[in-house]
Amino acid sequence: MSGVVDVSRRVPDRLTLLQRLYLPEIFRGMAVTLRHLVLNLLDRRRMPTIQYPEQKRNYSKRFRGKHILKAREDGTLKCVACYMCQQACPAECITIVAGEHPKIAYEKYPVVFDIDMMRCVFCGFCVDACPKDAIWMTRNYEMAFFTREDAVFSIDRLRESTAEVAAHGYGYRPYYPGDGTTPPSDASMLPVVSGSGERDTLRREGVALADRSAGAGPLNAPSQAAKAFSA
C-alpha cells in the first residue's frame, strides 16, 4: 500500500469483519510499534532520530539563529546606532540607545543594544538593513529561558565571541565566502583609539566641529522660503 487515502470517493470502502471486531486492528497497530522498537534497539545507526544533545543537526550556512554584533580589529563595535535595524524589525524586538562616540569619524555608538529573543521571529531583516555590516546571525539555536528578563540579550551577550563561533558557526549574513561580494569599506572599518576623548578635547579648546557636507540631491536643495529670505 502506498499510504495515500483517496478522499474524493463519495462511498467509502466497507469494513471487513476483522476491522469491525476492533481488537484485531489494535493488535495490528501495536505490532507495528513493537517491530519498530525492536529494530531501533538492535540497530541504532538506522534510527532517523538525532540523539540530542550528543548529536546535533548540521544546519545550513544561512541558518537564522542567535544574533551577534561584529567588532572592528581594535575591539570596538561596528554598530553606529543608526536605528536602521530597529526600524526594519517587524517584531519590534530591538531597542537601541545611541551615544556620542569620542572619535569624530564614528559619530555614534550604541550605549544600549537589546534584542528580545521571545519576540524575535529570526527573519534576518536586521542583518539586511544594517549599512555597516555590524550584525550577523549564527547557527546557535540553543536558547531557553526561565524568565522574560533572561530572554532580553544586551550588548554583553550579543558581542561576538570566538567560543560561540567555534561551537556553532556563522549563519545568515550579508557576505559569504566565494560569492564575489566584499564587506563595505568606510569609516566604520577604520581603527579607532577607544576612549580617546577627541570631541571633549576640541570643545575645551574651543575648536568648532566641522559640519558634514549636505551633498547633492533634491532633498538637500534649499527650500523656497530659504531662497526668498536670501533674496
Write the CATH number for 180.
3.30.70.3270
Place of cell 565566502: 177
Give 170's DSSP letter: B
Q: Which three cell numbers stand for residue 148?
A: 522574560
Do 154 and 127 fall within a single domain? yes
pTM for this predicted structure: 0.64
Per-residue pLDDT at 116: 95
Weakest mean pLDDT among 17-26, 47-56, 119-128, 179-188:
179-188
Give 46's DSSP letter: G
In whole angstroms, give the CA distance from residue 76 to residue 193. Answer: 9
Structure-model confidence comparison of residues 39 and 157, the more confident one: 157
Percent of the chain with pLDDT over 90: 40
Within a domain: 196 = no
- Count of structural domains within the chain: 2
Do 79 and 171 fall within a single domain? yes
Q: Give 193-223 pLDDT, tens digit per residue.
A: 444 556 667 667 776 655 444 444 444 445 5
pLDDT bin (cut points 50, 70, 90) of residue 60 is: confident
Place of cell 536558547: 143
Do 91 and 27 fall within a single domain? no
Within a domain: 194 = no
Q: Which domain holds residue 92?
A: 67-189
Per-residue pLDDT at 7: 67
